[in-house]
Amino acid sequence: MEFLNGFVALANFVLIPAVAYGSQLALGALGVTLIYGILRFSNFAHGDTMAFGTMCTILVTWWLQGMGVSLGPLPTALLAIPFGIAGCAALILLTDRVVYRFYRVQRVKPVIMVIVSMGVMFIYNGITRFIIGTEDQNFADGERFIIGVRDFKTLTGLDEGLAIRTTQGITVVTAVIVVAALFWFLNRTRTGKSMRAYSDNEDLALLSGINPERVVMVTWLIVAALATIAGVLYGLDKSFKPFTYFQLLLPIFAAAIVGGLGSPLGAIAGGFVIAFSEVGVTYAWKKVLGYWMPESLAPDGLVQLMSTDYKFAVSFVILLIVLLFRPTGLFKGKSV
């Protein structure tokens, strides 16, 4: 019983939040890694791309809510996601046409593209703040919990409660669907394969008659979808604040690099590695250990390895360790 209680506490405070957060990071990192693989630069504007897509979704959500549309227990935002993706895609494609393409044609060094993406980051950030402001926006509606603490306790008779929020459930389910669709697309369709070919060997892809502009366009469309979905899931699970999204850049990049830049599988693995480490290191383990250890050994302190304010430090330390000992990441990434 003690063990089970401890496990439930662990699940409630570490496993479930980390799985949800990991899914969000994985989707974000997939976008980063795709851009790196196809367009060959680290996109500093990705956090703000997520913010913009999410903002579009929120605006449509509010409109739908105003019209009285609802998904019942599910958040209305799910219905608005396609519109958010469309908005985000429009902005990205416009950016590519006006900004990135010029440099792509010249085949500039990747670091120049990174600086260009810094400019894009400023602009996206400005647009998002201009339209929706800098404040927290809550747009989650519907049922709050799939299972609440009290229900869980009565159901199982355990002392410890377990809550699964609807948003956490939706996050994981959506992430699984999106990732499955993405991998099906990349591995099974002609266009998807041509994207992988282009990422693998650009010159040979050109020789094979693959149209680079089309590959780039499809990539941006997928990135728009991934970024918007990741952003909306994160916003539903936590809350939407443009600055937070900008800060997500760090764990997302850490996830992509840890997994191996350019490797979609790596991005997913990296997302979960980062999420579990962040949550695990900043969680106060007193409760779980209290259940699992003999009473005499039970800890006095909180057994919190680091305060939550240091969560960036966690992603960062993992990033450094991986870079120092396995520079191409867990799954072999590209090194352009």
Where does this chain bind another protein (CB under 8 A)?
41-42, 44, 99, 102, 110-112, 114-116, 118-127, 129-131, 133-134, 190, 193-194, 196-197, 200-201, 203-210, 243, 246-247, 249-250, 253-254, 257, 301, 305, 307, 309-310, 312-313, 315-316, 319-320, 323-324, 327, 335
* Residue pointed to by tokens 């939550």: 308
The answer to whether the beta carbons of residues 132 and 51 sit under 8 Å apart is no
Q: Closer to another protein at the Cβ: 154 or 247? A: 247
Q: Closer to another protein at the Cβ: 154 or 201? A: 201
Residue 277 φ/ψ, nearest 5 degrees: -65, -45
Q: How far is the CB of 16 from another protein (least distance, A)?
A: 25
**Which residues make beta-bridge pairs with 137?**
240
Q: How far is the CB of 185 from another protein (least distance, A)?
A: 14
Q: Is 263 exposed, middle or buried (0-12, 13-18, 19+ CB in 10 A)?
A: buried
Q: Closer to another protein at the Cβ: 164 or 265? A: 265
Q: Closer to another protein at the Cβ: 145 or 243? A: 243
Q: How far is the CB of 279 from another protein (least distance, A)?
A: 17
Q: Closer to another protein at the Cβ: 82 or 126? A: 126
CA distance 190 to 169: 33
Q: Who contacts 128 (Cβ-Cβ below 8 Å, separation ≥6)?
A: 48, 51, 52, 55, 242
Q: How far is the CB of 79 from another protein (least distance, A)?
A: 24
Q: How far is the CB of 170 from another protein (least distance, A)?
A: 29
Q: Which DSSP state fits 43?
A: -
Q: How far is the CB of 129 from another protein (least distance, A)?
A: 4
Please give, one letter per residue, the 3-state secondary structure of 261-318. CCCHHHHHHHHHHHHHHHHHHHCECHHHHHHHCCHHHCCCCCCECCCHHHHHHHHHHH
The answer to whether the beta carbons of residues 304 and 285 sit under 8 Å apart is yes
Q: Closer to another protein at the Cβ: 14 or 303? A: 303
Q: How far is the CB of 197 from another protein (least distance, A)?
A: 5
* Side-chain half-sphere exposure of 25, counting CA atoms within 13 A: 34
Q: Closer to another protein at the Cβ: 154 or 187? A: 187
Q: Is 295 exposed, middle or buried (0-12, 13-18, 19+ CB in 10 A)?
A: exposed
Residues in the chain: 336
